[in-house]
Chains A and B, each alone.
Chain A
């Protein structure tokens, strides 16, 4: 009965994403409709160099961030944390900023590596602290995350200001797909690999959300799983910051909404979370392209508004029981 309902969610999410995918290929400043793209010779280039990479980038970013949020919530055992607000993205930003100051000529791959390492460290510190906070006060964890992320963000701003890199910082701190072209987004596929990896350990992640003692009781190597989870969260966040910039709220609202609908058994929910994250980000990017057509609004901004509205709706509507 539940299995059937879960499958319905998956099929619906898949269909919606497919529709958005096609729509995204047809929307852009160059007014080529899908039909033109199909017939004209230049159309194929436009598609292959710009629109397809952009669409794929949005899908990969959305799926990755939603899964990173899901895992972070499971590990922190708190529904109100996500990498973009609790210091992971800010640490990645700080990492890439420092490597840019110290070694401006470093390759994108190397910068991503440094950003990942910084995100790992920043998230590790956050989770160590989160695990020490009393579980009876669930709102301390996101509150601490906000302050912590804010402090890291402020440090990044200060360093960028000193080094005259504020413009760069703006690129990393507000996600935007308009710069995505073939050859400039492929790092995001690492995120897809990590999402697939998370799917393989979905049962363990569900058990981890039950706590350390339940995990040990069921024979799970808790410390090891914690490390795996941390790496997934940090690398997905870092790659996104480097290639696209920070996209807020995806990691927060998507796992929560799916949990309302389907519960927290990740073997069932993980694919739906990934698809829904992709849907949300792609929809916001299409919206950003349409609102002031032919100009664009960055996806980070659109998501800031959409995500906040979704989050408020979530808070005001009580979870469905049953």
Chain B
């Protein structure tokens, strides 16, 4: 369970997050949605202790992210950020292998190798495993980074716009893999998404943010309505129902 309590964040005079309190229970897929600049990435970065907390508290299964040693938290949660500028010449297999670092501290055991192989298979990277990252396309690199986070084998997986650069096939494929990991292994997945229809299809719960606050919180069928989307995004989005699921059509 992730408990976020009274968290605010400001740079100079700009408020990024204003007094956010929310609880994300263990298990399932929670989607964070909202317009650009709503504070989604900042919130995720605070949960992942990538930035120091200015006020409030965040705990993960009772462990404070501010004071628990990084080593311990690295076995608890993995984070994928959206701006991944990688200058290193590593092969896909090497990069994914570094996801095992919190467990292996550098020396990969047979068990670690098994997890790496499994991740390479799961994200369709086995053919690319010997390639250097710089030779990959943006989408392939993105998949390698997701595979690395997966390899960390943590209870919590925090993903900031993982669908960036992915084509329709791999975007759907990734969402299905995440859904399966959540269902079969009881992982908790928190994912920032821009496509609300992916959120509607794959998430158990949607948290919507706007101007540094949580403005809506609920099941997909509760949130994906024209009224709610208007509150979140500030414009009229028609919603229709296909196969019993609400589908937003923000195209015209």
Contact = CB atoms under 8 A, between A and B. Distances in A.
> Do chains A and B stick together as partners?
yes
Interface of A: 1-2, 77-79, 135, 138, 202-204, 206-207, 209-214, 216-221, 259, 263-265, 267, 319, 321-322
Contacts of B81: 213
Interface in B90-122: 90-91, 94, 98-99, 101-102, 105-106
B50 A77 contact: no
A206 B131 contact: no
Tell me the dominant secondary structure on chain A's binding face. Answer: loop
A322 B135 contact: yes
Interface string B58-93: 000000000001111111001101001111111100
Contact of A322 (B71, B72, B131): B131
B106 A267 contact: yes
A263 B90 contact: yes
B130 interface: yes
Interface of B: 45, 48-50, 69-75, 78-79, 81, 84-91, 94, 98-99, 101-102, 105-106, 130-132, 134-135, 149, 152
Nearest to A265: B94
Nearest to B77: A217
A1 B91 CA distance: 12
A79 B87 contact: yes
6 contacts: A2-B130, A214-B84, A220-B70, A220-B101, A263-B90, A321-B135
Contacts of A213: 45, 50, 79, 81
Contacts of A219: 69-75, 101-102
Contact of B50 (A138, A210, A217, A322): A217
B74 A265 contact: no
A78 B86 CA distance: 11
Nearest to B97: A265
With most chain B CB atoms within 10 A of its CB, the pick from A217, A221, A321 is A217
A206 B94 CA distance: 10
A319 B89 CA distance: 10
Contact of B91 (A78, A135, A202, A263): A263
B89 A264 contact: yes
Contact of A218 (B72, B84, B102): B102
A214 B50 CA distance: 9
A212 B149 CA distance: 15
A210 B69 CA distance: 20
A202 B105 CA distance: 11
Given A1-B130, A221-B70, A210 B88 contact: yes
With most chain A CB atoms within 10 A of its CB, the pick from B49, B94, B99 is B94
B37 to A, nearest CB: 20
B89 A217 contact: no
Contacts of A202: 106
Given A217-B50, A220-B70, A264-B90, A206 B78 contact: no
Contacts of B130: 1-2
A4 B45 CA distance: 40
Contacts of A209: 87-88
